[in-house]
Every structure is written in C-alpha cells, then in structure tokens.
Amino acid sequence: MLKMTTTITTAERGQNNAGDDADTIVLSRTKTSSKKPSLYKVLLLNDDFTPMDFVVQVLERCFNKTREQATAIMLAVHNTGVGVCGVYTYEVAESKVGSATSMARQQQHPLQCIMEKE
C-alpha cells in the first residue's frame, strides 16, 4: 500500500488596527491516499505428459481449491490449453507458482505454471 502525505503550511503576519503585530496563523492540511497493489493471474499451461489427476492434486494443495473447482480448472487447461488458478498480489502469485512448479518437478512432470499481470 502506498501512502502519500502532503503538508501545507502558511504563515501570515500582519498588523491589526491599533498598529500592533497580529498573531501568526499556521494552517496545516494532511492528505492521505492509498494505491491498490497490482494483481497477477496464476496460469497453468497444458502439456501432453502431466496426468490430469496430478493437475487436480496441484490445484487442491497449492491453490486450496475444492475437488470440483480443481476438476473444472483442469478441464479448462486440457480443453483450451490454459487455466486460471487464481488472482493474487505479486508476492503471493510468485509463491504459488514456485510451489506448483516445485511439486511438479518432484514428481518429474513438465507441468508449467506462470503468472501474468491482470
């Protein structure tokens, strides 16, 4: 989250009707605004070697999907060549890609998981 603070200070010195110095006037205003973090889609890419059951396991374990959600995403990957596993901030997306890729490599599957800015 980006937080920007701007402070404006104005001082005026004048004289009142009697010729005496007037009090100093100081005005402060703080403006705060926040910028939402960029989001990234985590995608699974189709290949001809990774078993469908393994893809479902990856989706359940790494992306906390139910069996039904994982099966639907796996079928999208199989039928269209790519499936969206979820949308996350950069750090979370990077972690999910790493854990899915690591799980696939441990089982010697060529499953590819990538992230792209939404």
What pLDDT score does 22 carry?
Answer: 58
Q: What is the mean pLDDT of the chain?
A: 86
Q: What is the DSSP string of 70-97?
A: HHHHHHHHHHHSEEEEEEEEHHHHHHHH
Q: Cα separation of 93 and 64, whole Å?
A: 13
Average pLDDT estimate for 6-31: 59
Whole-structure pTM over 0.95, yes or no?
no
Residue 88: pLDDT band (50, 70, 90) is very high
32-41 residue pLDDT tens: 888 999 999 9
82 has pLDDT over 50: yes
Residue 2: pLDDT band (50, 70, 90) is very low
What pLDDT score does 21 carry?
Answer: 56
CB atoms within 10 A of CB 100: 23
78 has pLDDT over 80: yes
What pLDDT score does 30 carry?
Answer: 78
